[in-house]
Structure 1
Amino acid sequence: MKRWRLYVLCILLGCMKMQAQTLPMPFQKGDRVVFLGNSITEGGHYHSYIWLYYVTRFPESRMQMYSAGTGGDASWNMLERLEEDVYGKKPTVVTASFGMNDSGYSEYLKDDVEKFVSSQLLRVDTAFRKMQDIMLAHKDTKVILVGGPPYDEKWQNDKNKPLPGKNETMSRIVEMQKKAASMNGWSFVDFFSPIEAVNKEQQAKTPAFTLTQGDRIHPDNHGNMLMAYFFLKSQGLAGKPVANVCINAATRKVLNTENCYVSKLKQDNGIALAFNYLAKSLPYPLDTVPRGWGKKHSQFEASEYVPIIEELNQEILQVKGLQPGNYMLKIDGHFIATFDAGALGSGINMAVLYNTPQYQQAVKVMHLNEERWNIEKRFREYAWTEFRILKQKGMLFQDNLAAMDTLRASVHENIFLAGHLDNFSKMMYPEIREAWQDGMDLLVNRMYELAQPVVHRIELVKETETCQ
């Protein structure tokens, strides 16, 4: 338990500071959630990981989640697209995160940094006040302000020198968001403080540790999963199990069930216990493969730093009254693992057994969600081109050859534009956008279809010398 001490202390201190803050309620069936942000949202997975949790944990409560992240955006850029790009999606909930680009970059290596910071904070405050006015005008849409992840200033890397003071500026922007949330009666979620705590703990042991992709800015997959974890935890979802089953094999009685159904319980020759099991949820699949451009770490690695498994991924099978010995766990006739009577009596977590049919069912949902994310990212690149370049030229959504010519002629104005031209050359055609949107809709439909509960037959077979 020592590994969690710094983490728990940070959370307790954070709760003491945030007594006036309102934490968000869990999303509900039918919600349309839009995540507004910068490149950390556009190219990151945290919102995708959040949706994956909701699909697998609440498969009957269908909802829709959208990324509205755009690379390079500060609050004043978000202000320019807030109506069309965010509220145009007809959200019931909007989350808003900014600060990384707002706080500046190379200016911290120049003279008179304090003057720059003061000017920058005034600019953020001005834009953010206008954003708040728009958000308040949409009275039926809930708002969750999100204090973004920190700039990793303490990461030890000689090839990437830090910008001293940038993270302090970001913390002041987070304070702005906290105050605005409290003043407007909105919810607030903090990524900044708890991720800083993880960095501090891990970098004390390994100075070369970072949750970013190596640029001090963009979280890798494990960093994105930490963001998803802190978001879900803030919604009060920690401790909500996939399912819990407790059975007394000696008396053949079901002692307790949670979020599942147990039926047709019996014992046969050689079978210590068998029953039908229908869980209302699937285990949460933590991907062990680094996915996404430039990613070196996996989603699963986040579980090394915070208690994701313990708090968000518990599918407990507890069987009391077994005779001493080892028992083979079989599901639908397939061998899963062997446990002794003591472990089964205490309870085993089936959510970490990756060869169970229910976990593999969840993996299929995960892969469909990943493919959906890949297509959605094309739409975010298209949005970047529209709002960052074409809107400024009075050509928003003109989507024709004249717009394409304008973009080609404007490549010298923005170093990132060249990388977006190919995507825009396809997405300027409505038929292409429609086809890709249809593809995403199909993937979402299949996600929810595959996440639906399935009855499994669970057996415990006592090992004998013959079996061995």
Structure 2
Amino acid sequence: MKVTRKIVPGILFCLSCLQANSQSIRPFRAGDRVVFAGNSITEAGLYESYIWLYYMTRFPSERITVFNAGIGGDVAGQIYNRMDSDILAKKPTVLAVTFGMNDSRYFEYNQKDKVAQVREQAVSQSLNSFQQIEQQLKELPGVEKIIMTSSPYDESARIKNEVFHGKVETMEKIAAFQKAAARKNHWGFLDWMHSMTAINKREQRKDSSFTLTGPDRIHPGAAGHFVMAYFFLKEQGLAGKPVATVSINAAKNEVLKTANCKVSELKAGKDNVEFNYTPYALPFPSDTVPRVWMNYQKQVDALKVIPFVKEFNQEVLTVKGLNGNSYTLAINGEKVGQWSGAELAAGINLAEQNTPQRKIAQEIMELNNKRRELESKFRSYYWVHYNFLQEKKMLFNNSDAAKDTVLKYGAENGWLKMKTEDFETVRMPATRAALQKQMDDIVDAIYQKNQPAQYHITLTAN
């Protein structure tokens, strides 16, 4: 325990230094095509989906498009290999690249006498590959670049899975050259590894089994992905921007303040208040379903360890001048809850209540999850091509012969077998076009559903 207490301040100091010196990431603008390129953590599609969900609910008039360009198992060299045919083919205006988890290797650390050699080789190979990526990105002046460290490998959680001691130190060296390159090129930079490790260390002082990754110490669960999205949005400078703010003085029948919303037709007295309310954004919804294979975490679990609600999800209604003990708040005739005059004067966060606008946000979240599930089929298709068919000299060969080859080897290759069904579904051009249309239709539906609407709010004395 004493060792842990010594480590935590050091991590926090390192984190503060990295954040202070990092190049900030500009908020996305309407029309941006944002591509996230990485390994299996990116392929899972969650952190980028949460980021897009924030933009869907917070900026309904500034439509963007987010693409998953992750492939499980990738190192920097493999990302470079598919840069033209997969990543840049999506025509990004913003490209975010992350790697390091696989580059730093795994079972090689079990040979204790060769750890230093393994580290030197891993870092050298990753750096050489990244320099190829760096050179290619320099030749794309119209694309905004963001370099992101890997999420952490958790060596310290007391869980059953084996630990590759020394892997974190290798990842530190990879993160160092990632940061240096981003600063040199004036690109955006985000340090997930140190930020998330600081949370792991802090929480492990209370519960030694806590981790933002999962049973394998590698892949974040839904909570870990949400923390990744939180730090990304925070680096964009979006913390502290409210969903909406309304402040009313009922005694004077006066609107004191509004932010990101419109209030009209206020009628207020000592026992009753009513007005029309049009917020220009929706609250961020909560997801209670585990979304990562063999990982129990849920997105809502992350709210216990990051101040997301305080920093990103405030839809505060304040009503002064009501002195009663109990008032019922209703929106569009639907009861939301009861509060005292003192509680209303202090302000209540509607984003945490079961309001009509939150229900719309939940519907948008479900639509976004459906879109993500469809997109995952495309990522499986690309996984099969780059991780298997390319070796067979059949890259982007979608013939029956390619299908038969996949089926043949899938009987013995468990990873390939997991991807085979999606590959068969997506391999034909007509099917890909149909799936893409489904995704486009879902996004169209989201950007219709997320548009500002007027609500009628009443407060009635009980």
Q: Taking structure 2 as the reference length, what is the TM-score of the superposition?
A: 0.95
Correspondence for 1:58: 59
CA distance in 1, matches of 2:109, 2:242: 46
- Distance in 2 between the 1:349 and 1:97 partners? 35
Does the CA contact (< 8 Å) of 1:44 and 1:221 recur in 2? Answer: no
Q: Which residue of 1 aligns with 2:436?
A: 437
- Cα drift, residue 213 of structure 1: 2.7
1:73 corresponds in structure 2 to 74
CA distance in 2, matches of 1:115, 1:244: 57
For 1:301-320, list aligned pairs within 5 A: 301-320=301-320
Q: Secondary structure at the match of 1:416?
A: helix
Q: Which amino acid aligns with 1:55?
A: M
Q: In the alignment, is residue 255 of structure 1 matched against residue 251 of structure 2? A: no
Alignment of 1:198-213 (within 5 A): 198-213=199-214
Range with greater deviation from structure 2 (325-334 or 386-395): 386-395
CA distance change for structure 1 residues 379 and 326 in 2, over 3 Å: closer, same or farther? same
CA gap of 1:7–1:284, structure 2 versus 1, over 3 A, is: farther
The answer to whether the aligner puts 1:293 opposite 2:293 as a matched pair is yes
Which residue identity lines up with residue 395 of structure 2 in the other structure? L
Q: Answer yes or no: is the 8 Å Cα contact 1:44–1:219 preserved in 2.
A: no
Which residue type is aligned with residue 125 of structure 1?
L
Question: 389-398 or 311-320, which moves further after superposition?
Answer: 389-398
Residue pair 1:35, 1:47 contacting (<8 A) in 2 also: yes
Asked if the contact 1:44/1:224 (under 8 Å) is kept, the reply is no
1:7 positional shift: 9.6
Aligned residue type for 2:153: Y
1:377-408 CA distance string (max 9 Å, x none) = 11000011112222333322221112223334
Other-structure match for 1:113 = 115
| Equivalent-residue separation in structure 1 for 2:279 and 2:414 (angstroms) | 51
Would you say the 8 A contact 1:7–1:306 is kept in 2?
no
In structure 1, C-alpha distance between the alignment counterparts of 2:181 and 2:358, rounded to whole Å: 41
Distance in 2, Cα, partners of 1:152 & 1:9 = 17
TM-aligned CA deviation for residue 44 of structure 1? 4.4
Amino acid at match of 1:81: R
CA positional deviation for 1:222: 0.6
Q: Structure 1 residues 364, 132: closer, same or farther in 2, change over 3 A? A: same
- The aligned residue for residue 158 of structure 2 is 156
SS at 2:205's partner residue?
A: helix
- Residue 453 of structure 1 is matched in structure 2 by 452
The answer as to whether partners of 1:107 and 1:116 remain within 8 angstroms in 2 is yes
Decide whether the 8 Å contact of 2:324 with 2:461 is kept in 1. no
Does the CA contact (< 8 Å) of 1:103 and 1:166 recur in 2?
yes
CA distance in 2, matches of 1:221, 1:237: 21
What is the 5 A alignment of 1:28-43? 28-43=29-44
Distance, in Å, in 1 between the alignment partners of 2:8 and 2:432 is 44
TM-score, normalised by the number of residues in structure 1: 0.94
The answer as to whether partners of 2:100 and 2:150 remain within 8 angstroms in 1 is yes
Q: 1:229 to 1:346 in 2, by over 3 A?
A: same
Aligned identity (percent) is: 42
Cα deviation for residue 286 of structure 1 reads 1.8
Tell me what 1:100 maps to: 101
* Deviation for aligned residue 1:419: 1.8
CA deviation after TM superposition for structure 1 residue 424, in Å: 1.4
Retained in 2: the 8 A contact 1:243–1:260? yes
Shift of 1:11: 6.3
| Structure 1: stretches of 5+ with no match in the other structure | 1-5, 464-468
Q: Distance in 2 between matches of 1:267 and 1:321?
A: 10
Structure 2: gaps (5+ residues): 1-6
Whole-Å Cα distance in 2 between the matches of residues 344 and 271 of structure 1?
13
1:432 Cα shift?
1.1
Question: For the Cα contact (< 8 Å) 1:7–1:198, is it kept in 2?
Answer: no
Q: Mapping of 1:17-36 within 5 angstroms?
A: 17-36=18-37
Aligned residue number for residue 124 of structure 1: 126
For 1:27-426, list aligned pairs within 5 A.
Answer: 27-110=28-111, 111-157=113-159, 159-267=160-268, 272-353=272-353, 355-411=354-410, 415-426=414-425
Runs of 4+ aligned residues of structure 1 deviating over 4 Å after TM superposition are 6-13, 409-415
Q: Distance in 2 between matches of 1:240 and 1:420?
A: 41
* Structure 1 counterpart of 2:226, one-letter code: M
Mapped partners of 1:124, 1:38: distance in 2: 14
Conserved 8 A contact 2:249-2:256: yes
SS of 2:391's equivalent? helix
Change (3 A) 1:11 1:345: farther
8 A contact 1:47–1:67 mirrored in 2:
yes
Structure 1, residues 345-397: CA drift from partner, whole Å, max 9, x if none?
A: 011100000x2000001000000000101111110000111122223333222
CA distance in 1, matches of 2:262, 2:133: 47
Deviation of 1:134 after TM superposition, in Å, equals: 1.2
Separation in 1 of the partners of 2:26 and 2:9?
Answer: 22
Structure 2 residue matching 1:143: 3-state secondary structure? strand
Counterpart secondary structure, 1:438: helix
Shift of 1:413: 8.5
* Conservation of the 8 A alpha-carbon contact between 1:59 and 1:448: yes
**Bigger shift: 327-336 or 413-422?**
413-422
Aligned to 1:466: none
Report the Cα distance in structure 2 between the residues aligned to 1:460 and 1:419, rounded to whole angstroms. 54
| Counterpart Cα distance in 1 of 2:175 and 2:402 | 37
The offset of 1:9, in angstroms, is: 9.4
| Letter paired with 1:305 | V
* Contact 1:35–1:96 (CA under 8 A) maintained in structure 2: yes
Aligned length: 455
Q: Distance in 1 between matches of 2:245 and 2:27?
A: 21
C-alpha distance in structure 2 between counterparts of 1:12 and 1:162, whole Å:
25
Q: Deviations over 1:225-254 (max 9, x none)?
A: 000000000000000000000010000110
